[in-house]
Amino acid sequence: EIYTLSLHDALPIWSAVYNALSFGIAAMGSATVFFWLQLPNVTKNYRTALTITGIVTLIATYHYFRIFNSWVAAFDVSNEKGGDYAVSLSGAPFNDAYRYVDWLLTVPLLLIELILVMKLPAEQTASLSWQLGVSSAIMVALGYPGEIQNSLSERWTWWALAMVPFLYVVGTLVVGLGEATAKQGETVAPLVTSARLLTAVSWCTYPFVYIIKNTGLAGTVATTYEQIGYSLADVTAKAVFGVLVWAIAEIGRASCRERV
């Protein structure tokens, strides 16, 4: 683990994860404030989607605080007499399971908010929300058992199982919603397409980060890549995606004004 590294190597690795988690807190927290401050400025039809967007980033902010605090508590960083900083285990466990709790709550909501801003017929909206929401929850639930396994064969097995609902959801985002997107207005359709593709691309980051440890890479290097990779993917899939949802709502408000 991290205490087996030289002092010159340990601090940069510890700091890299520390800063990535701090970045996640700042991005998710500021996004939440922005989305909810914009609620009075969008039309009623888009407020539910924007509210859910804020809830997603709020939940993520909370869990990033928990992950950050767990990371800080798991290590002792000390400096004696102006020498090199020493990084050692404190004895407290680093609990990364917060990520899976976060994903179980926020991933279905992310898909639901995308469906809501597309303004599909009520029956289609309900159907797609259930299908994509349940599929994404199953995907997360299947991923966690593999995350806590030390056996590479078991990690690969759970990864493969989780990829089944993952491919269904990504396929629906990239292909299945194409016809519905084409029916959006000329100004809204490009943003909806961007939101779909951003979600699909950012989601494709997660399986690759997951298999870092499947390749046999372990210890602090694997943990560093994993934490930074997941943090960047989360900010893109939640905060940046939320900005696109807000932009769609803003265009919807402008269109309503033009019709009036």
Predicted confidence pLDDT, tens digits, the chain (260 residues): 443 444 456 778 888 999 999 999 999 999 999 999 999 998 888 899 999 999 999 999 999 999 999 999 988 887 766 666 777 778 888 888 899 999 999 999 999 999 988 888 889 899 999 999 999 999 999 999 988 887 888 989 999 999 999 999 999 988 888 887 777 777 788 888 888 899 888 989 999 999 988 887 777 778 888 999 999 999 999 999 999 999 988 886 555 454 44
For the entire predicted model, the pTM comes to: 0.89
Residues β-bridged to residue 86: 78
Backbone angles phi, psi at 121, to 5 degrees: -55, 150
d(CA 182, CA 192): 9
